[in-house]
Structure 1
Amino acid sequence: MHCVHSIQHEQEENFYRLFILSFIVFIATLSVAIIWHHLSLGNNYTYQYPLVGFSYLLLLYPFHKMCHFIVLPHKKDSFIRIKRYFVIVPFFEVKCDTPVKKNYYLLSLITPFIVITLIWLFVYFQYDLKSVYWYLLLAIHMAICTTDIYYFFSYLKFPKNSFIEDSERGIKVLVEDNFEKIHS
């Protein structure tokens, strides 16, 4: 295999730029959810079960990362690394030491968005939760998924049968050599 493209996330997709974009998505999602609630249901929010709401908020980020991890095919070679930004805020990165097929990598990126959004919609309509915490959970979820969706659409343009390898500085896009296929 040889590398056809290399992306250094620390330089090209600046963390702070993506953080600001995620914050804008958070504000927009929360605003739309509250305006929609106010227009369709009036001003009757429920503030029931605040501890349950806060526990869901605390569990959202680990569950999001677990969704990334579950889909990866090489679980033995996968690990979660903790990086710190803003001195105290921990960010978890799911990394894989072996190259992963592009389709699996894309599936790993989009799985948390699909799974958590479907769970949110099911619980929202099934249990008629009109809680501020529930809208806050949706907004935080969309903000967390912003980076994943950005990378998902960026990686779609890679060659069809390519492999994606995580490295310390970013990712490498690998393609199998035709020479290896002919002689194997």
Structure 2
Amino acid sequence: MNCWKTVNFHKRYGIERLFFMSSLTMISCFLFLYVPITSYFAKNELSDDYFFLLLLSILIIYPLHKLLHLLPLISMQDKIKKHWEIVFNIFPVFHIQVKEPIGKGLFLLTLMTPFIIISGLLLCLCFQYTHYVHYCLILFAYHTGICFPDFLRMKNLWKTPKTCYVEENEDGFEILINNIH
């Protein structure tokens, strides 16, 4: 296999820029969705009960997000490298890295799984618990911000060959193609 493209996330974006853009995505998502969704549920009065549960959910979403990345890779457990890192001296970051190349489709599925499952669940909860729609929107926006680096990875894979493979490394990933015809 030959390297078709190398994407170095640390060099291209940097941790500070990713954090800023994720935060901006989170705030924009909340501002964009709050007015239309709360006006849709205008007949219901919003409640601020269970604020502690909101804070607990904020703490739980990130580890749940990372665990859901592992879901499509469950059959490859022995080929996955996992480790923790502290960023900005306060944020624990859990890194998952597959030690061997995987297909583009599986890599994209791995990137999309947390967004689809958690966001779908939160949007369903908006309709189930209409008095807490603002809590669900806060969590949805927060999770969308967490997903921002995944969206960037998907964007970088958008125009790659369908049959390519993706190999992760410490700084990003390499897109590999098979030259055998």
* Residues 17-36 of structure 1: pairs in structure 2 closer than 5 A: 17-36=17-36
The whole-number CA distance in structure 2 between the counterparts of 1:132 and 1:121 is 11
Using the TM superposition, give the Cα deviation of residue 33 of structure 1 relative to its aligned residue in structure 2, in angstroms: 3.5
Work out which of the residue numbers 78, 81, 102 in structure 2 matches 1:79.
81
The whole-number CA distance in structure 2 between the counterparts of 1:52 and 1:78 is 32
Alignment size in residue pairs: 179
Q: For residue 58 of structure 1, what is the aligned residue in structure 2?
A: 59
The whole-number CA distance in structure 2 between the counterparts of 1:129 and 1:65 is 29
**CA separation of 1:47/1:163 partners in 2, compared to 1, >3 Å: closer, same or farther?**
same
Contact 2:104 2:162 in 1 (8 A): yes
Q: For residue 16 of structure 2, what is the aligned residue in structure 1?
A: 16
Q: For residue 117 of structure 1, what is the aligned residue in structure 2?
A: 119
Whether 1:68 aligns to 2:69 is: yes
Using the TM superposition, give the Cα deviation of residue 27 of structure 1 relative to its aligned residue in structure 2, in angstroms: 1.1
Using the TM superposition, give the Cα deviation of residue 65 of structure 1 relative to its aligned residue in structure 2, in angstroms: 0.7
Q: For residue 160 of structure 1, what is the aligned residue in structure 2?
A: 162
Matched residue SS, 2:92: strand
Alpha-carbon RMSD: 2.0
The TM-score with structure 2 as length reference comes to: 0.88
Q: Percent identity?
A: 27
Contact 1:165 1:173 in 2 (8 A): yes
Matched residue SS, 1:11: helix
**CA separation of 1:4/1:34 partners in 2, compared to 1, >3 Å: closer, same or farther?**
closer
The whole-number CA distance in structure 2 between the counterparts of 1:103 and 1:163 is 9
**CA separation of 1:45/1:155 partners in 2, compared to 1, >3 Å: closer, same or farther?**
same
- Structure 2 gaps of 5+ residues are none
Q: Higher helix proportion, which one? A: 2
- Structure 1 gaps of 5+ residues are none
- For 1:80, the aligned partner's letter is K
**CA separation of 1:117/1:38 partners in 2, compared to 1, >3 Å: closer, same or farther?**
closer
Moved over 6 A (4+): none
**CA separation of 1:128/1:39 partners in 2, compared to 1, >3 Å: closer, same or farther?**
closer
Larger C-alpha radius of gyration, 1 or 2? Answer: 1
Matched residue SS, 1:171: strand
Using the TM superposition, give the Cα deviation of residue 129 of structure 1 relative to its aligned residue in structure 2, in angstroms: 4.1
